[in-house]
Amino acid sequence: MFRVLKRSKKSKARLGIIQTSHGNIRTPSLVPVATKGTLKSIPPKDLKDIGAQVAFVNTFHLTDHPGVDVIKKFGGIHKYAGLDMPLMSDSAGFQVFSLGRGKPTRGAKTHQGDEVPLLKISEEGVLFRSPRNGKEIAFTPELSIKNQQKIGADIMMAFDECIYYGADYEYTKQATERTHRWLLRCVSEKRLLKYSHDRENIIDEQYLYGIIQGGIFKDLRIASAKFVAAQDIDGVAIGGVSVGETKRELRKQVRWVSSYLPEDKPAHLLGVGRAEDIYDLVKYGIDTFDCVEPTRLARNGIVFTARGSKFGRIDLTRTKYRRDKSPIEENCNCYTCQNFSLSFLHHLFKERELLGYYLATYHNLFWFEKIFEDIRGKIETNSY
């Protein structure tokens, strides 16, 4: 499934290929986020021109709507959503953080108890409340795998608990060990389903990544990396980052586990998508990165550009662009920069015209793919 084509002599950075039944992913690579089966505002036919190789769909949201049985009826998410490319699905573990740790309760010591009405975590699994209609949604490791099999993405994530930032040592240890026990249940469930009769319409090969947790504690991170790497899985992911920690803490958490990542399996970093972070983190052996940032920022009129600083960004809604004839970036070959001025983009955002969301998202994704092309080129030429 994974071939390393070249290892850097200066760091742990590597060039590789992840092979799936929907095509290959050249790594290091961005994994743009298509939460509900769509990269917001971008039709699938444009993804090739943008350079996107793979996308990340969200199991919690697709279970909530349209429901995984609907997706299975259509032969899986690739066919249902018209996405003919490798896809990854998450496990709903991140929602333990994002739905459970909303701003009002942030900083509290425990997930459990009355203060977090959205969910309950037990050894069995997690009980969510749908943010859409208030219905209860249960996730266990087994249900997460079952649902991900019905979605049919090429790569699944094991069910984990994304631990909130600020959790103390004792809580982090308990939650990390629970995530390990959940991983074993995910591995067995995947094995069981592989040989069951309930697999029609689902893709041939579905891979499973185990998720490393351990919060901000070095010994827990290393223990988690060792445990996860030793299981019968196809790849590893580092989770529990991008939950409010500083850039230094993020780098430390990845560096701690770097030496324990399997040499022959792909490594994914969950939820990290700042270009300046990515340039550093590929040096620790990370192959793929997913992040909502390029698409989410674009919809708010924030676009990436090297104007001013290498990883700069500008706000298209600012009045100073009203008469600006230049594109977002002079050297960008994307459809947006080749055809539209900052003035027109500013106008679209001020008037909330739908084309604005498309053009800004197109540029941000294209810009990010160039960053990864640059990184791959640097590893290729030994300058990394």
Catalytic residue numbers, as ranges? 90, 290
Dist CA 193 CA 106 (whole Å): 38
Number of CB atoms found within 10 A of residue 226's CB: 12
| Strands 136-139, 2-7: pairing kind | unpaired
118 lines the binding site for Zn ion (CB under 5 A): no
Distances (CA, A) of 117 to 64, 104, 130, 134, 251: 18, 11, 12, 11, 33
Cis peptide before 141 (omega within 30 of 0): no
CB of 188 to Zn ion, least distance (A): 47
Task: Name which of 190, 168, 186 is nearest 228 in CA terms.
Answer: 186
Stretch that binds Zn ion, among 106-114, 210-218, 255-263, 329-337 (CB under 5 A): 329-337
What residues have CB less than 8 Å from 367, skipping those under 6 apart? Answer: 294, 303, 304, 305, 329, 332, 334
370 lines the binding site for Zn ion (CB under 5 A): no
Please say which residue, 128 or 357, places its beta carbon nearer to Zn ion: 357
Stretch that binds Zn ion, among 135-143, 265-273, 277-285, 336-344 (CB under 5 A): 336-344
Task: Name which of 319, 328, 331, 317 is nearest 362 in CA terms.
Answer: 328
Stretch that binds Zn ion, among 25-33, 162-170, 310-318, 337-345 (CB under 5 A): 337-345
CA triple 250-294-244, angle to 5 deg:
30
Please say which residue, 30 or 229, places its beta carbon nearer to Zn ion: 30
Task: Name which of 70, 74, 94, 101 is nearest 144 in CA terms.
Answer: 94
Please say which residue, 207 or 340, places its beta carbon nearer to Zn ion: 340
332 lines the binding site for Zn ion (CB under 5 A): yes
302 lines the binding site for Zn ion (CB under 5 A): no
Binding residue for Zn ion (CB under 5 A) from 54, 151, 314, 334?
A: 334
Number of CB atoms found within 10 A of residue 263's CB: 11
CB of 354 to Zn ion, least distance (A): 19
Please say which residue, 8 or 295, places its beta carbon nearer to Zn ion: 295
Interface with Zn ion (CB under 5 A), residue total 5
Rule CB under 5 A: which of 344-363 touch Zn ion? 363
CB of 48 to Zn ion, least distance (A): 16
Dist CA 249 CA 242 (whole Å): 10
337 lines the binding site for Zn ion (CB under 5 A): yes
Please say which residue, 270 or 337, places its beta carbon nearer to Zn ion: 337
Please say which residue, 339 or 382, places its beta carbon nearer to Zn ion: 339
* Interface residues toward Zn ion, by CB under 5 A: 332, 334, 336-337, 363
